[in-house]
Chain A
Amino acid sequence: MEAKKLKIMVIDDENIVGKRLKPALEKSGDIVETFENGESALARFDEEPFDIVVTDIRMEKIDGIEILERVLAKSAHTKVIMITGYATVEIAREALSKGAFDFIAKPFKPADLRAIIKRASKELRA
């Protein structure tokens, strides 16, 4: 059975993240769009929902938790994965309770994130 192409959204105000994740995740044939701030990301999400959203937890203006909440409100079965960094593990745990699928801490290899996305996509199909 051929796996459907995933629509993945990556949100992180650090340029390095989107820049490196996009090609890495597109390798498996999925569609990836990257954003460097929550507003534009959510606006895009309003146009059409994504299967997977990968978002940094701590960003200015709109932070990862808010993105999580708004994404899930719009599309309950979207899988949201949080990227944590320095001192944000506690918030990540909170995110899990708010419905985030999992979290991954920087520094990480794109392959590790791919593994989480793979698991998430299994649940999407289930």
Chain B
Amino acid sequence: MNLNSKNIANYEMDYNFRFRYETLRALLNKNGSALQILNDLEADLSHMRHYDARIKRSVRRLITETLLMAQELNLLTGNRYSDLSEIIFQLRNETDKLFKKGKSTEIRPLALEIGSHAMPDPDLIGGKASGVYFLKQHLGDSVPSGFIVTTVAYNLILEKNNLQERIRILLKNLDVTVDKNQFKSRIQTIRRWIREAHVPEEIEKEINKYADLVTKDSYDVLWAVRSSAVYEDGIHSFAGQFDSKLRVNAEDLVKAYLEVLAGRFTERAVRYRLHSGLHEIDTPMGVLFMSMVDPVAAGVIYTSNIKDSDSNTMVINAVPGLADRMVKGEESADTFFISKEPHPQLLQTIPASRETGKETEADTAVNYIKTEKLLEIAALALEAAKKFNSDLDIEWAMAKDGKIYLLQARKLSIPHTAEEAAAKLAKKKDVLPILEGGITIFPGRAEGPVKFLAPESDISDVPEGTIVIIEKPGTEFASVLPKIAALLVMEGNPVGHLATLVREFSVPAIFRLGPNAKILLKKNILSVNATKRKIYSGIRWVGVRERVLARIASENRHEKSGPLYNFVLRLNLVDPDAPSFKAKSCKSIHDTLRFMHEMSVRSMFGFGDEQKHGWKKKSRKLKTGLPIKFQLIDLDKSVPENTKTVEPKDVNSLPFKALWRGISDKKIFWPEHWKKVLPGIPSEFKESVLGGNKGPRSVSDTNYAIIAKDYMNLNARFAYHYAMVDAMVGPGTENNYVHFRFRGGGASDENRVKRAHFLELVLRHSGFKVNRKGDLVTAWLRSYPRQDSENALEILGRLMICASQLDAVFKKDSNVKLYVNYFLKGEYGVFA
């Protein structure tokens, strides 16, 4: 190695640049991964317990990435944010405490007997089984014995058969309505996979073990095998969606198990699930095995009359024999009305073969069940309802010996009659959407008055329940999300912080609707189906509006997710310009990510300024006919080696090429006096004017650009102006950014401000966010796709040149807006 000190100095300087750039890249990459983990966590937390092993793993991975990012930020900024590491360590400790609090992950049985222990976690056994379990615990004998094969077993089967991945691929991007045949065949394929799955030995053993345990000495026990999905019979009602298998022999239990699992994937069930916004994969299922009662009569009892919630009546539906066909709606039942207070009494009977208008006497029995038995059922049901502390929908059966059994209980949700009637109205199939398309960011339906928000609008006066339309996504709209019905975005990019926030607030949203979305503004009320990406005029559904308002009003929107949400997902730091945007203000991991992203990119301004000496030797001269001088510093061989000068076409840097396209735009008119080589005038003069050495910097400074394949940091000083462009543009989107800073020198104060104003207007119209303080203009464009970022850089190229010519222009005409329009229209000639 050459020990020449100058070379070493160059080498080291080189490495410092390189390391700095690589640090920025490392940080931005981690940011991208971290945001992805956040997104997935968000979705998972909406239906998984926070102490689920998968969640714990993701959170820990996320925090590790975040901590390393903090180290990287401190490397970039000379340890300016040492607070951050402490904050992140603390967040890790807080989340660890939460994981400890959760149910121990040691109790992960494949199966358990109904009623045997303390109430198991619903995530382990599913909604239906939870109901049965509770019944068994409180009503003992009146509930048949049985056992549950848990969600642990379900997950094991999926894993061992590699089903998760296959199902995910098959269901990805499924638009249920577009091609019904496609949907149908995919569902059939999935069912086939499940039915043909291999059941691991340990599960089979457990099934047989518990079957024996439960039946003890009795022979000929037949089984009822039923699904019990997590979130079935819970918040989302899938009543009647799943398969159950009745009268199953002991030797067919495993087969029945698989069939019931496969039954979960019926078209109807999947459609329902997708519509409710759940993730297909992650609603695991338990399966309930109950010894069958061979009934002489069976049916359902509602502990309150669902048609009239105020009444003091219970309703029993009954059929002779098994009730399953009745439950599916395939068989008509006899209906009995029983009063509750002071004690159960039969009020009225309506036989299945009811003839309208005919009433029968109160005590008319049907031949398969006596009145006293009906009253017994009612009494038992009331007891259950007391224990559940809720009205219930209970399935019952009466055995040959007259014993009454309760088989299943579900909390009753009594719909409002208004909604019922209105539901009928909603069958307006013939109305077509006025706008379709875009990208679903968060599914769901919403309805409400429409309002357009321009970037500088006052957000605080947006009424609750509005459907908001914006042109481009930006985090300044975050504060409006909690109160709007839906968000429609015309252009820009479906990733980044606003999308994350949309999901956090569960706001139905469609991005990239296109410029045609303007037609929506002509309407007053819209109905938006974000799931199907269809927008209708007027009111389309009923009940949606109420639900929307309920969501907005609801204070426990995040109840499901728990405290983990606050430490990890909640974004508090929304506005980077606010004085509270500090490391100390970070309260969640999301905050720290936001903060670090912002600070890291900001820190790249002045990247090259720190090295003032000696780097000229390692830089290359940009060869161009234009009166501009640039030295190029190559970070990763984006420029041909071994040449002292480089032509723009050989600079293999995406952002640089884009900027250069703008600068070298033929429509820009370079004033004659800049091009002329005046005889006798030393070239330094030319350099000093055109190379821009006058102004706030010293003579020895030059314009330079630090470049890499996807990165550029450019500092230009010319004609008293000082422009800085820092950009990262790669094939991805999330990490792309274009930053611009401009300060004009020379001229009068008045003109400087005008120039700044000119820049501000042009930049804003070109999609940048802008901040102007006096004559310093800062603008940025973040997380836009490659093409948009390149376009932005081209605009900057032209803008830099035109702006530097403004002094002359303002002498003639001080109408800023006029020149803004000229620029935006592409009439660059006027700037000469």
Contact = CB atoms under 8 A, between A and B. Distances in A.
Q: Are A and B direct contacts in the complex by CB distance below 8 Å?
A: yes
Interface of A: 89-90, 93-94, 96-97, 102
B169 A97 contact: no
A55 B818 CA distance: 62
The 6 closest A-B pairs by CB, nearest first: A97-B182, A97-B185, A97-B181, A96-B185, A97-B179, A89-B169
B173 A94 contact: no
Nearest to B196: A119
A96 B183 CA distance: 10
B170 interface: yes
A86 B170 CA distance: 16
Contacts of B181: 97
Contacts of B189: 96, 102
Contacts of A102: 189
A97 B173 contact: no
Contacts, number: 20
Contacts of A96: 170, 182, 185-186, 189
B179 A93 contact: no
B173 A90 contact: yes
Contacts of A97: 179, 181-183, 185-186
**B: interface residue count bin:** 10 to 19
Contacts of B185: 96-97
Contacts of B186: 93, 96-97
Given A93-B169, A96-B185, 6 more contacts: A90-B173, A93-B170, A93-B182, A96-B186, A96-B189, A97-B182
14 contacts: A90-B173, A93-B169, A93-B170, A93-B172, A93-B186, A94-B182, A96-B170, A96-B185, A96-B186, A97-B179, A97-B181, A97-B185, A97-B186, A102-B189
B813 to A, nearest CB: 54
A58 to B, nearest CB: 17
A5 B669 CA distance: 78
Interface in B31-64: none
Q: Which of the listed residues A93, A94, A102 has the most CB atoms from chain B within 10 Å of its own CB?
A: A93
Nearest to A100: B185
Contacts of A94: 182
A94 B182 CA distance: 7
Contacts of B179: 97
B162 to A, nearest CB: 12
A102 B186 CA distance: 11
Contacts of B173: 90
Nearest to B180: A97
A89 B165 CA distance: 13
Contacts of A89: 169
A105 to B, nearest CB: 9
B191 to A, nearest CB: 14
Contacts of A90: 173
Nearest to B169: A89
Contacts of B182: 93-94, 96-97
Contacts of A93: 169-170, 172, 182, 186
Contacts of B183: 97
A62 B204 CA distance: 49
B108 to A, nearest CB: 32
A91 to B, nearest CB: 12
Nearest to B189: A96
Interface in B161-215: 169-170, 172-173, 179, 181-183, 185-186, 189
Nearest to A97: B182
A82 to B, nearest CB: 13
Q: Which of the listed residues A94, A96, A97 has the most CB atoms from chain B within 10 Å of its own CB?
A: A97
Nearest to A99: B185
A32 to B, nearest CB: 26
A98 to B, nearest CB: 8
B166 to A, nearest CB: 11
A78 B50 CA distance: 49
A33 B170 CA distance: 30
Q: Which of the listed residues A89, A90, A96 has the most CB atoms from chain B within 10 Å of its own CB?
A: A96
B741 to A, nearest CB: 40
A89 B168 CA distance: 12
A29 to B, nearest CB: 25
Nearest to B184: A97
Contacts of B170: 93, 96
Nearest to B181: A97
Nearest to B183: A97
A102 B185 CA distance: 11
A96 B189 CA distance: 9
A97 B172 CA distance: 14
A90 B175 CA distance: 13
A100 B461 CA distance: 55
A25 B189 CA distance: 25
A90 B179 CA distance: 14
B250 to A, nearest CB: 29
B269 to A, nearest CB: 19
Contacts of B169: 89, 93
A92 B185 CA distance: 13
A93 B189 CA distance: 11
A89 B173 CA distance: 12
A43 B173 CA distance: 36
B25 to A, nearest CB: 26
A93 B187 CA distance: 12
B715 to A, nearest CB: 41
A112 to B, nearest CB: 12
A102 B190 CA distance: 12
Interface in B523-575: none
B192 to A, nearest CB: 10
B186 to A, nearest CB: 6
A101 to B, nearest CB: 10
A90 B174 CA distance: 10
Interface string B246-269: 000000000000000000000000
Nearest to B182: A97
A97 B182 CA distance: 4
A89 B170 CA distance: 9
Nearest to A89: B169
A112 B186 CA distance: 21
B73 to A, nearest CB: 36
Nearest to A101: B189
Nearest to A92: B169
Nearest to B171: A93
Nearest to A94: B182
Nearest to B185: A97
Nearest to B179: A97
A102 B182 CA distance: 13
B492 to A, nearest CB: 25
B446 to A, nearest CB: 29
B165 to A, nearest CB: 11
Interface string B381-400: 00000000000000000000
A102 B169 CA distance: 13
A17 B170 CA distance: 25
B168 to A, nearest CB: 11
A66 B182 CA distance: 17
A89 B179 CA distance: 17
A78 B173 CA distance: 29
B584 to A, nearest CB: 46
A57 to B, nearest CB: 15
Nearest to A96: B185
A55 B562 CA distance: 50
A90 B170 CA distance: 9
